[in-house]
Amino acid sequence: MTCHFDSLDTRSDSLPQPFSRAGIVIALPVAFASAKRTGGVMHELTLCQRAAEIIEQQAQQLGARKVTGVWLEIGAFSCVERSALEFCFELACRDTRAEGCALHLSQQEAQCWCPQCQRNVQLLTTLVRRCPHCHSADLRIDANDSVQIKRLEIEQE
């Protein structure tokens, strides 16, 4: 039997009780690692180790035999490299219920508010932080810098 649990909330302090509602709510703020890029894969490894711990806790609470799929959303300003995250996730999940699970990654769009032209704007890249309409550099970033577990797929015992 395969069950799907979707995440809707982004508060890391609000882990729910199993089956308390239609979803597991888990977020992984980048703050538990360094939000600044220092080179190498240490940043991604730390994120993945914490993700594996949380996934294992949730799987145990839900009576899961195995985690078959994990959906992660990468914040537009998280400084996370996709390929490094994939590599580190596989390492971090060894000897857990999530070992060998399918990892699905999505990238949050770089969303900002431009007070100059009063528009919500989407940046094509996080490196160029100018309004595409009025070219103002005075943008308020609405996107976050976190990596969130959006969904788990499990096989129950």
Is the separation of the CB atoms in 74 and 85 below 8 Å? yes
Known binder of ligand: residue 93?
no
- The torsion of the CA quartet 87, 92, 98, 103, rounded to 10 degrees, works out to -30
Which residues of the chain are under the pLDDT cut of 70? 1-42, 124-126, 143
Instruction: Tell me whether residue 37 is in a domain.
Output: yes
Residue 124 confidence (pLDDT):
66
Residue 123 confidence (pLDDT):
78
How many domains does the chain contain in total? 1
Beta pairing, strands 64-74 & 147-156: antiparallel
Side chain identity at 109, as an amino acid letter?
A: E
Domain that holds residue 103: 2-109+145-156
Residue 86 confidence (pLDDT):
95
Known binder of ligand: residue 117?
yes
- CA dist 42 and 73 (Å) reads 19
Instruction: Tell me whether residue 103 is in a domain.
Output: yes
Known binder of ligand: residue 131?
yes
Known binder of ligand: residue 134?
yes
Residue 40 confidence (pLDDT):
53
CATH code at position 40: 3.30.2320.50
Residue 99 confidence (pLDDT):
97
The DSSP 8-state label assigned to residue 127 in this structure reads S
Known binder of ligand: residue 101?
no
Instruction: Tell me whether residue 31 is in a domain.
Output: yes
Q: 29-59, pLDDT tens digit by residue?
A: 333 333 344 455 568 999 999 999 999 998 9
